[in-house]
Amino acid sequence: MTTVGVIGATGYAGAELVRILSGHRHVELTILTSRQHVGMPFARIYPSMAGGAGGVDMVCEEYTADRICDRAEMIFTALPHQLPMKIIPELVQRGRRVVDLSADFRFREVSAYESAYQPHTAKELMGQAVYGLSEVYAQQIREAEVVGNPGCYPTSLLLPLIPLLKDALLNTETLIADSKSGVSGAGRSPSLTTLFCEVAESFKAYKVAQHRHNPEMDEVLSHEAGRPVHITFVPHLVPMSRGMLTTLYATPARKISADEIRGRITSFYAGRPFVRVCPDDSLPNTLHVRGTNFCDIGFRLDDRNNRLILISAIDNLVKGAAGQAVQNMNIMLGLDETEGLMGVPFPI
Amino acid sequence: MTTVGVIGATGYAGAELVRILSGHRHVELTILTSRQHVGMPFARIYPSMAGGAGGVDMVCEEYTADRICDRAEMIFTALPHQLPMKIIPELVQRGRRVVDLSADFRFREVSAYESAYQPHTAKELMGQAVYGLSEVYAQQIREAEVVGNPGCYPTSLLLPLIPLLKDALLNTETLIADSKSGVSGAGRSPSLTTLFCEVAESFKAYKVAQHRHNPEMDEVLSHEAGRPVHITFVPHLVPMSRGMLTTLYATPARKISADEIRGRITSFYAGRPFVRVCPDDSLPNTLHVRGTNFCDIGFRLDDRNNRLILISAIDNLVKGAAGQAVQNMNIMLGLDETEGLMGVPFPI
Amino acid sequence: MTTVGVIGATGYAGAELVRILSGHRHVELTILTSRQHVGMPFARIYPSMAGGAGGVDMVCEEYTADRICDRAEMIFTALPHQLPMKIIPELVQRGRRVVDLSADFRFREVSAYESAYQPHTAKELMGQAVYGLSEVYAQQIREAEVVGNPGCYPTSLLLPLIPLLKDALLNTETLIADSKSGVSGAGRSPSLTTLFCEVAESFKAYKVAQHRHNPEMDEVLSHEAGRPVHITFVPHLVPMSRGMLTTLYATPARKISADEIRGRITSFYAGRPFVRVCPDDSLPNTLHVRGTNFCDIGFRLDDRNNRLILISAIDNLVKGAAGQAVQNMNIMLGLDETEGLMGVPFPI
Amino acid sequence: MTTVGVIGATGYAGAELVRILSGHRHVELTILTSRQHVGMPFARIYPSMAGGAGGVDMVCEEYTADRICDRAEMIFTALPHQLPMKIIPELVQRGRRVVDLSADFRFREVSAYESAYQPHTAKELMGQAVYGLSEVYAQQIREAEVVGNPGCYPTSLLLPLIPLLKDALLNTETLIADSKSGVSGAGRSPSLTTLFCEVAESFKAYKVAQHRHNPEMDEVLSHEAGRPVHITFVPHLVPMSRGMLTTLYATPARKISADEIRGRITSFYAGRPFVRVCPDDSLPNTLHVRGTNFCDIGFRLDDRNNRLILISAIDNLVKGAAGQAVQNMNIMLGLDETEGLMGVPFPI
């Protein structure tokens, strides 16, 4: 039984971590911290989790390194970027292992991080951190002290692309990702753009070709392709709470059949239960992955111009954040990667 | 390990049964039947449940009494009323125990059933069936061969009312229930009134004082109050998928304090984990019970006229249907009533 | 052509005023003020109204009494309560007529206002103001200098109740209003409770028997009934942007038929086009009044206990705010009350 | 005053036609036909439009050529494809002008139509019909007897693309359209896929690179580009009632600046009020065109690879169907093209 703590437990991703970890039979959730809700029972903030066997009976505490290190061996940080880089070095020094859900430890190149975010103050640790795309980097994650948990958008497109990129099956200059995200991705802080009345009956693109997840994607894609890759990335906001669908466009590097594409993806993820390749006559749908750690992948070829259309669906808060973080913890602890993540999904 | 089957597995309530039973560690789900989807893998109808450890790898079969009795000791029927009364007698005769989610076995009085529905063809068995309001009739449910699982609306209002009615604390002539239900209560059959475009931005009452659940409520309320009770019942449709909130109005039979009301309800449900009484400064919200078997109860007194306002929230597909059905099965099998029903709820 | 100005034009009610007044052929909208968006083109805040013949080409200005009095003969104030009472006295002194959408000029009794809100600093003017329930007080509105435009909840229940109360057809001790409102009623200021993720799949009651609109209702009901009336009032929040449905419960003072009820309401509102009494086989639905100034009224009798159920639907931003405000302006200016308010409604 | 009739008035597009035509000051709506609702008052099907000055007091009639020709000079057909080709030839023979909202008269090439739909039985008339993309083909529309009103998807992408294609500014082999539509596009016939519970929290692609609107787009794009063009087209379903957003990807044929792109689009649509080019710091949003005939266009260049991203937003039922149909009628009748279409839009 490993003790675990969540730093920043009251945002949507933090709360999702609390949900998953509370139901995990091989860890004991021992401490939650919050900047805004110190002293507040967690279940007053999220009353769904009040009471009984299925509930969370913990109180939010103020963060101190001592408090968290005294009580937790494994630590999740669910904070805005720039904060984790300040606190994680001490945690690691004191022997704790950390999965960070922010961008602070996702990059290999300091310059890439710094041009997208701001100066990095823990460059050395950044260099040792492992990018937590569980299905692709499990081996490195196993030994990592710090895992930089991927962004939701990168997760949604790297999983379908990497099997094909690794085999040089795609013309890397043709990559386009048109992503659509539910509103929870914007977090729980009140803002005009996420008010119900501004979101309902609204569909829009935002940060077109300027989103901070774009350099994160590019770095991983380039690494996997073995050459510099820039993907055109356009995120959109969907009037729903959870879920992310990414539609990818790419020109194959050579004539390729649907069977071959299916074969490559299927074999790449053989034995990895969270990637589900849709049957031929079916396509991913956010409703089918809601509340789960699955990444559903489907595809079609546009025969008229031999363009490949790859589609993925994830729950942005689960596989796109807290679920993958727990999957990474499972890998780090040598547990089955599905532990705590295999509740039977809801039909609707 | 008890073998269980679901007759009518592909409607929303049936699918919710499949979800819960698939994750239940003390039963083995062995057969699903469907009238429309014979031969179809269940996970093609509900792709969320495809694949892996968290999935359902079963194929829908045609119902025959032999097939179901051969494979299941405990049977759930999730069919439109009038069908269960035709098939359940044979199942019982062959020694099976049944939880029926339709109205066919909910009534004590044949005449009450027949005036709300149509002639009953299994009157004798109806007389032996037990009304499956788990928190109130657990003792009878334990021994029952057939449980008539309560309607969603009756569940939502009987749970808050019964503790007060039993102690004659309410003037029974003043009872009013203003209920609001998510759309899944209307089922999965395509109809104009449940199309997205007809439901979005729509809020309406329907079947005002004429809903078939009204006689069901009246019968139970009368039984518990020990005198004839008719509650004014007005259901409404809410633009959301799951959830039911009922706002009850009643004049106390005598001056009564908030503490006393809280005390009565709390003590009545002591040790019953699925009823959560909200803290004083909080009120039920369908989002807080979504996907759970909880019934949250809150209340306020209108001091100006000493009127009591009781509010309950349930998930209409769980505590209002499949969840309570499994709770009843747990009771029938002598298991802890929470088995299979205590996944940690989602924060949003 | 009367010149009109809107003070507080950028909240949802203010913007709705701008929409309606921009399309009104007998007034000229000459000035918009905003506290937060001084210098900003209105159509940058509400891009729907950008450009062309159907657009609004105005810039938000800072409020000063001079600026507004120089340019507008008729003034709408769409500000939080407590602000209007500070600025309207000067406007009136300078000969302007005002429709105030806040609570500041809705009450007859200063004490009722002050116990619900805070001390009133313009008591004299408050005494002269007219309550702007257009269908009921048109005669007084015609001459008013200041109209206190009714709250959305009071509008939704006063319109169905008053015709019956005036004729003493209801037992006033039995009045209950169960109201359900779309989210726009909470305004445009970012807050946790109106975030999309907190509202979707959520239905809840709030401020049960404690809402500030309750004393407003009580005062008008008492006035119309000729005796003190307190209505039990429970508001709820619906996951939709616009719309309000109120379900009223009352015991008739004597045996009364559906025909008589229909007759009373119909005759009371004869010649008033914004009240539509639903056909016998139909009931109000917020979708049917969306974007309109209509108040749809329907009813049923619960025969078992002779309880009357009255149901009304309005758009909270139109008949519940800006639409009724313009209707009042029309009455004040001697125009047809429907001017600017009779666009053909959307089918969905 | 031109008399107009709507054949197929009770679907969503038909009802939207009724809404717009009822408020149009230069035409008189004289007849509505319906296959399913003969004899039913239109306002019983769409109660929003009941009563008063803003209402529709017409009864749905059965279609016969005599009945419609006797009462209407201008006719709209809002029927499933394959029906219009059977009835329009007779209407034209009797001197009526027709705007058809189906696909039957949208194509130049019979073979293109027939491979996407089924054999065409009015080929001659098809050859004379004009494609009703109002901003592009106004001159031909003016004289047309039959206008084939464009599909919603084609409208949403042709308007942004044509100004650039005409000047050969885009590499036509790189065209991709990722479109997202509200649910009303699927019509009012009950079906599983448009049930509220199947749509809420669901986002999915469908008919990927196989949608029937694809050949329609290709034909127009090819015509405008002066060479064969095939666009990769992927439609998606959004959980909202109305609205369509299309995100287009294209590689410019040469280095091009944002100013030049803006200039081309702006000048192409100079004097056409329904195309609004967004300010530099703003992007299209379906909420901003809801209920309007506007097409909002925005764009960004991905500097890293000089890829152009064009974005458009329309209301699928208005500019994507009924609104553009009325705009075409206005052009055919020599009226201002905005007649009946310039109600001030709602803020939310």
Task: Indicate if the alpha-carbon torsion angle B66, B67, B71, B73 is positive or negative.
Answer: negative
- Phi, psi values for residue C31, rounded to 5°: -155, 135
**HSE-up (13 A, CA, CB side) for residue B172:** 19
Nearby residues of A58 by Cβ (< 8 Å), 6 or more positions away: A18, A29, A31, A32, A41, A42
- Cβ(B199)–Cβ(D194) under 8 Å? no
The alpha-carbon radius of gyration of chain D (Å, integer) is: 20
What pLDDT is stored for residue A54 in this prediction? 72
The tokens describing C282, both together, are 């139909």
Range list for CATH 3.40.50.720 in chain C: 2-150+319-332
- β-strands C146-148, A2-7: how paired? unpaired
Determine the Cα–Cα distance for residues A43 and A59; give it in Å rounded to an integer. Answer: 8
Nearest chain B residue to D237, by CA: B196
**CA distance to A249, B14, B141, B304, C225, per residue, from C228 (Å):** 69, 52, 50, 12, 8
- Cβ(C27)–Cβ(C5) under 8 Å? no
Banded model confidence at residue D54, pLDDT cuts 50, 70, 90: confident
Q: Chains A and C: how many Cβ contacts under 8 Å?
A: 51
- Phi, psi values for residue C152, rounded to 5°: -65, -45
What pLDDT is stored for residue B51 in this prediction? 83
What mean pLDDT value characterizes chain B? 97
Contact call for D200 and B241, based on CB within 8 A: yes
Contact call for B192 and D195, based on CB within 8 A: no
Residue C202 CB neighbour total at 10 angstroms:
25
Active site residues of D: 152
D chain contacts of residue A243, beta-carbon cutoff 8 Å = 201-203
What mean pLDDT value characterizes chain A? 97
Judged against a pLDDT cut of 90, whether residue B9 lies above it is answered with: yes
Contact call for B242 and C313, based on CB within 8 A: no
Q: Read off the amino acid at residue C164.
A: L
What pLDDT is stored for residue A51 in this prediction? 83
Percent of residues, chain A, with pLDDT higher than 70:
99
- The SS3 of residue D160 is helix
Contact call for C180 and B176, based on CB within 8 A: no
pLDDT digits (tens, 9 = 90+) for D115-172: 999 999 999 999 999 999 999 999 999 999 999 999 999 999 999 999 999 999 999 9
Q: Name the residue facing C195 among A194, A201, A240 (closest C-beta).
A: A194
Judged against a pLDDT cut of 90, whether residue B133 lies above it is answered with: yes
Q: Which chains touch A (3 or more CB pairs under 8 A)?
A: B, C, D
Q: Where are the beta strands (DSSP E) in chain D?
A: 2-7, 27-33, 60-61, 74-77, 97-100, 130-131, 146-148, 176-181, 204-205, 232-237, 244-250, 275-277, 295-302, 307-314
pLDDT digits (tens, 9 = 90+) for B299-336: 999 999 999 999 999 999 999 999 999 999 999 999 99
Determine the Cα–Cα distance for residues D347 and A228; give it in Å rounded to an integer. Answer: 45
What pLDDT is stored for residue A55 in this prediction? 83
D chain contacts of residue B201, beta-carbon cutoff 8 Å = 241
String of DSSP letters for B31-68: EEE-SS-TT-BHHHHSGGG-SSTT----BEE---HHHH
Determine the Cα–Cα distance for residues C112 and B190; give it in Å rounded to an integer. Answer: 51
Catalytic residue among B152, B197, B278, B295: B152
pLDDT digits (tens, 9 = 90+) for A7-23: 999 999 999 999 999 99
pLDDT along chain C (348 residues), means of 10: 97 98 96 97 96 84 98 98 98 98 98 97 97 98 98 98 97 98 96 97 97 98 97 98 98 97 98 96 97 98 95 98 98 97 92
The alpha-carbon radius of gyration of chain B (Å, integer) is: 20
- Which of A79, A107, A1 minimizes the C-alpha distance to A321? A79
Catalytic residue among A152, A197, A278, A295: A152
String of DSSP letters for C109-160: -HHHHHHHS---S-HHHHHH-EE--HHHHHHHHHH-SEEEPPPHHHHHHHHH
**CA distance to B309, C178, C206, D55, per residue, from B304 (Å):** 13, 17, 18, 43
**Probe site for chain C from B115, B174, B178 (most C CB atoms < 10 A):** B178
- The SS3 of residue D38 is coil
Identify the DSSP state of A184. G
What pLDDT is stored for residue B53 in this prediction? 61
Range list for CATH 3.30.360.10 in chain D: 153-316
- Cβ(B346)–Cβ(A48) under 8 Å? yes
Nearest chain C residue to B172, by CA: C305
Catalytic residue among C60, C69, C152, C278: C152
Residue C182 CB neighbour total at 10 angstroms:
29
Alpha carbon dihedral B75, B79, B85, B86, in 10-degree steps, equals -90
Determine the Cα–Cα distance for residues C170 and C251; give it in Å rounded to an integer. Answer: 6
- Cβ(B235)–Cβ(B211) under 8 Å? yes
The tokens describing B206, both together, are 């329907």
In the block, tokens 């709507």 appear at D6
Nearby residues of B128 by Cβ (< 8 Å), 6 or more positions away: B144, B145, B146
Q: In what order do the strands lie in the sheet with C244-250?
A: C204-205, C232-237, C176-181, C244-250, C307-314, C295-302, C275-277
**Helix (H) / strand (E) containing B310:** strand B307-314
Judged against a pLDDT cut of 90, whether residue A53 lies above it is answered with: no
- Which of D299, D295, D209 minimizes the C-alpha distance to D248? D299
String of DSSP letters for D61-111: E---HHHHHHH-SEEEE---TTSHHHHHHHHHHTT-EEEE-SSTTS-S-HH
Judged against a pLDDT cut of 70, whether residue D338 lies above it is answered with: yes
pLDDT digits (tens, 9 = 90+) for B83-129: 999 999 999 999 999 999 999 999 999 999 999 999 999 999 999 99
Determine whether C244 is exposed, middle or buried from the number of CB atoms within 10 Å of its CB (0-12, 13-18, 19+): buried
**Helix (H) / strand (E) containing C244:** strand C244-250
**Probe site for chain B from A10, A48, A135, A281 (most B CB atoms < 10 A):** A48
Contact call for C303 and B202, based on CB within 8 A: no
- The SS3 of residue B224 is helix
Q: Which chains touch D (3 or more CB pairs under 8 A)?
A: A, B, C
The tokens describing B44, both together, are 């093609």
Determine the Cα–Cα distance for residues C158 and C297; give it in Å rounded to an integer. Answer: 11
String of DSSP letters for C308-347: EEEEEEE-TTIIIIIHHHHHHHHHHTTS-TTTT--PPPP-
CATH 3.10.180.10 holds for A153-316: no
What pLDDT is stored for residue D144 in this prediction? 98
Q: Which residues pair with A47 in a beta bridge?
A: none
- β-strands A176-181, A232-237: how paired? parallel
What mean pLDDT value characterizes chain D? 97
What pLDDT is stored for residue D52 in this prediction? 64
pLDDT digits (tens, 9 = 90+) for D219-272: 999 999 999 999 999 999 999 999 999 999 999 999 999 999 999 999 999 999
Contact call for D232 and A182, based on CB within 8 A: no
- The SS3 of residue B298 is strand
- Which of C53, C23, B192, C344 minimizes the C-alpha distance to D17? C344
Nearest-neighbour CA in chain D from B272: distance (Å): 31
What pLDDT is stored for residue B96 in this prediction? 98
Nearest chain A residue to B281, by CA: A44
**HSE-up (13 A, CA, CB side) for residue B318:** 28
- Which of D35, D93, D21 minimizes the C-alpha distance to D64? D35
Contact call for C184 and D47, based on CB within 8 A: no
Model's pTM, two decimal places? 0.97
What pLDDT is stored for residue B54 in this prediction? 72
String of DSSP letters for A120-174: -S-HHHHHH-EE--HHHHHHHHHH-SEEEPPPHHHHHHHHHHHHHHHTT-B-GGG
Q: Name the residue facing D52 among C47, C273, C348 (closest C-beta).
A: C273
Determine the Cα–Cα distance for residues B99 and B88; give it in Å rounded to an integer. Answer: 10
Judged against a pLDDT cut of 80, whether residue D53 lies above it is answered with: no
Nearest-neighbour CA in chain B from D77: distance (Å): 22
Nearest-neighbour CA in chain B from D341: distance (Å): 22
Determine the Cα–Cα distance for residues B135 and B293; give it in Å rounded to an integer. Answer: 12
**CA distance to A75, B115, B116, B173, per residue, from B107 (Å):** 54, 11, 11, 22
Q: Name the residue facing A283 among D208, D303, D305 (closest C-beta).
A: D208
What pLDDT is stored for residue D226 in this prediction? 96
Nearest chain D residue to C291, by CA: D346
Under CATH, which architecture does the A2-150+319-332 domain have?
3-Layer(aba) Sandwich (3.40)
∠ Cα C44 C45 C50 (to 5°): 45
Identify the DSSP state of C172. G
Nearest-neighbour CA in chain D from C313: distance (Å): 11
Determine the Cα–Cα distance for residues A289 and A348; give it in Å rounded to an integer. Answer: 10
The alpha-carbon radius of gyration of chain A (Å, integer) is: 20
Tell me if ipTM is over 0.90: yes
Judged against a pLDDT cut of 80, whether residue B289 lies above it is answered with: yes
- The SS3 of residue C5 is strand
Determine the Cα–Cα distance for residues C94 and C77; give it in Å rounded to an integer. Answer: 16
Interface of B with D (CB under 8 A): 12, 183-184, 188, 190-192, 194-197, 199-201, 239-241
Q: Name the residue facing B345 among A54, A296, A344 (closest C-beta).
A: A54
D chain contacts of residue A305, beta-carbon cutoff 8 Å = 173, 230, 232
Task: Indicate if the alpha-carbon torsion angle B130, B136, B142, B148 is positive or negative.
Answer: positive
